[in-house]
Structure 1
Amino acid sequence: MGTMHYKTSDKQVTCVDGEDTNLLRTSIRYEMGVPYKCGGGFCGTCKVFIEEGAENLTEIKKAEIKHLEDKVHKGYRLACQTFTRGDVTITWDPNVQVKENKKLREFWEKQLG
């Protein structure tokens, strides 16, 4: 079991034991506040900084390297591409403003139940 701490919004959630948990999907489901536009690795909006627990994350994906370049090796990840298997603490730029896409939000709410 692990805890996902969304430090910027000062919220956290406990992950199910043995289950890989996506940072962005969890943020959407529990209203943690990570900004996003697409949710699929195309835009790079969901950039987060891993403060603690990088060792509990899945490997870096091509979409992350494309959007983050050298920042990916300095602790930044795309929340939509990153899964955790244990404790992790993340932060993000609270000044990132994203116009809500109602259709995309409805899609993710339907997918996430």
Structure 2
Amino acid sequence: MPVVILHKHGQTFQDEVRPNTNLVVRAGIKQFPYPNLQYECGMGKCAKCATRVIAGAEHLPPPNWKEKKQLGERLNEGYRLACQLWLEHDIELTQD
């Protein structure tokens, strides 16, 4: 089971999730990382769920067209859209 670590506002939140989990979907049904993850549309249109990947990026697929459009140069800084990621491995994220 993948372990997710989320850093936000000086706090750290950690939990296990099932493989093939999307954090925005989980937050939408009030499961971890709710209420700590900022998100809105869940479809890659608003970029409210932008998070910087601290560890585990090597296990993620390449950014899709929605991430490229919304994040632009921030992709080079390690940012991804949480709504576009289906987790299979441990990951550590931070959200501004």
TM-score (norm 2): 0.82
Corresponding position of 2:86: 83
Structure (1/2) with the larger helix percentage? 1
Of the structure 1 ranges 30-39 and 19-28, higher mean CA displacement relative to structure 2 is found in 19-28
CA RMSD of aligned residues (A): 1.6
1:50 aligns with 2:63: no
Task: Between the two structures, name the one with larger relative contact order (CA 8 Å, sep ≥ 6).
Answer: 2
Shift in CA distance, 66/60, structure 1 to aligned 2, threshold 3 Å? same
Deviation at 1:32, TM superposition (A): 4.6
Q: Give the aligned residue type for 1:7.
A: H
1:22 aligns with 2:22: yes
| Separation (CA, whole Å) in 2 of partners of 1:22 and 1:53 | 15
Which of 1 and 2 has greater Rg?
A: 1
- Mark the runs of 5 or more structure 2 residues left unpaired by the alignment: none
Corresponding position of 1:36: 39
Q: Secondary structure at the match of 2:83?
A: helix
Q: Secondary structure at the match of 2:45?
A: coil
1:72 aligns with 2:53: no
| Separation (CA, whole Å) in 2 of partners of 1:58 and 1:27 | 21
**Residues 3 and 12 of structure 1 are in contact (CA less than 8 Å); yes or no, is this contact kept in structure 2?**
yes
Indicate the percent of aligned positions where both proteins have the same amino acid: 31
| Separation (CA, whole Å) in 2 of partners of 1:36 and 1:11 | 16
How many pairs align? Answer: 91
**Residues 11 and 32 of structure 1 are in contact (CA less than 8 Å); yes or no, is this contact kept in structure 2?**
no
